[in-house]
């Protein structure tokens, strides 16, 4: 029971300290931004790989006509 009371009091202190900015909300946005950044990095790598494959196929096809 003491733990529950301590948890509730600590929660109220934290929430009253910054009522306009919730820590969990900031944390959630940062996690989403990090995940989006990782997805973007993966997409960039896939695009680069595809460009390299296109370049190789273009060069090999060009050799056939030279």
Cβ contacts of 14 within 8 Å, gap of 6 or more: 23
Compute the average pLDDT of residues 36-62. 79
Long-range Cβ pairs for the range 25-34 (8 Å, 24+): none
Q: In the predicted model, is pLDDT for residue 61 greater than 70?
A: no
Structure token pair of residue 34: 């990090």
Q: In the predicted model, is pLDDT for residue 19 greater than 60?
A: no
Q: In the predicted model, is pLDDT for residue 51 greater than 70?
A: yes
Query: Which has more pLDDT, 47 or 64?
Result: 47
Q: What is the pLDDT of residues 25-42, one digit of tens each?
A: 778 788 888 877 777 777
What pTM does this model have?
Answer: 0.40
């Amino acid at each position: 029971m003491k733990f529950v009371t301590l948890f509730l009091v600590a929660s109220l202190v934290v929430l009253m300290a910054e009522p306009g900015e919730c820590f969990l909300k900031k944390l959630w946005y940062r996690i989403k931004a990090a995940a989006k950044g990782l997805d973007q990095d993966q997409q960039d790598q896939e695009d680069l790989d595809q460009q390299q494959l296109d370049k190789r196929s273009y060069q090999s096809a060009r050799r056939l006509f030279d």
